[in-house]
Amino acid sequence: MVARRAGKCPVRILLVGILLFILALPFAAAVEAAAPEWRQQASLSLPLKGALYVTQGWGGAVTHSGRLEYAVDFVVVGARSRSYRGRGQRLSDYYTWQASVYAPAGGVVVALENSVRDNEINRPNATLPWGNYVIIDHGQGEFSLLAHFKQDSLRVKVGDKVTSGQLLGLAGNSGFSYAPHIHYQLQDGPSLGAQTLPATFARYYEASGHSSVLRTNQVPREGDVIYKG
């Protein structure tokens, strides 16, 4: 009796499991339909011109983790891919300092900050980590955030419509920044700290030895030297 009942119990459990699976199928389909996979709509271009070095890429160990995982930091570089002239002790030594920063895609400016003082080299501002920034609504739930502009350098205001490649302001060293650079991320909302999205850039060149390779719909990696396409 005991052995016989033990043999029937798994069969009953299996039948119940199959029934529950069948009943759950419509619910699973509804969940999938309600939360479709994100697909990038904005065609993005690099926010700076000239030779750029990626100091921190996706999943960067310094600050690109959690909700900021899919962010990229850029600096302008000169000869031998150096980011500064001389000893690099002054803001003016850095090629990124006061470099023009451009809209990566068209949209509407929905938020910005323009009044945060720039830091001295190697003295980041942890109290106001974003420093001076611009957030652009591209539509379709996609927003670009660019941060660490120079104080009082922004050329746009909230409500402005911008086109791809339009001048936004000048690169600085505001916020949590040790040296002049521009932080870029595509995110799913208009607020600071919104979830970043794994966005790609439509077209750029990557330095490879003595030549360069065209990259389309890719993202530059930490340590890459790249050029605007």
Domain ranges of the chain: 1-36, 51-228
Read off the amino acid at residue 103: A
Q: pLDDT by residue (tens digit) across 25-40?
A: 454 443 334 445 889 9
Q: Is 164 exposed, middle or buried (0-12, 13-18, 19+ CB in 10 A)?
A: middle
Read off the amino acid at residue 125: N
Whole-angstrom Cα distance, residue 75 to residue 91?
Answer: 13
List the beta strands (DSSP E) in 22-114: 51-56, 71-76, 100-102, 107-113
Could you tell me the CA-to-CA distances from 5 to 2, 17, 19 in Å, in that order?
A: 5, 18, 21
Q: What's the half-sphere exposure (Cβ side, CA atoms, 13 Å) at 146?
A: 29
| Residue at token pair 């957030």 | 135
> What is the reported pLDDT for 13?
39
> What is the reported pLDDT for 4?
34
Going by C-alpha positions, the residue among 102, 169, 109 that lies closest to residue 135 is 109
Round the CA-based radius of gyration of the chain to a whole number and report it.
Answer: 24
Report, as ranges of residue numbers, the positions in the chain whose pLDDT lies below 70: 1-36
Cβ–Cβ < 8 Å for 225, 77? yes
Q: pLDDT by residue (tens digit) across 132-169?
A: 999 999 999 999 999 999 999 999 999 999 999 999 99
Question: Which tokens belong to 49?
Answer: 């011109």
> What is the reported pLDDT for 37?
85
Cβ–Cβ < 8 Å for 41, 138? yes
Whole-angstrom Cα distance, residue 145 to residue 112?
Answer: 9
Whole-angstrom Cα distance, residue 182 to residue 167?
Answer: 14
| Reported pTM | 0.83
Q: Hey, what long-range contacts does 21-27 have (CB within 8 A, 24 or more apart)?
A: none
> What is the reported pLDDT for 122?
97
Cα angle, residue 19 at apex, residues 16 and 23 outer, rounded to 5°: 140
> What is the reported pLDDT for 24?
47
Q: Which helix (H) or strand (E) holds 164?
A: none
Q: Which CATH fold would you assign to the domain 51-228? A: Glucose Permease (Domain IIA) (2.70.70)
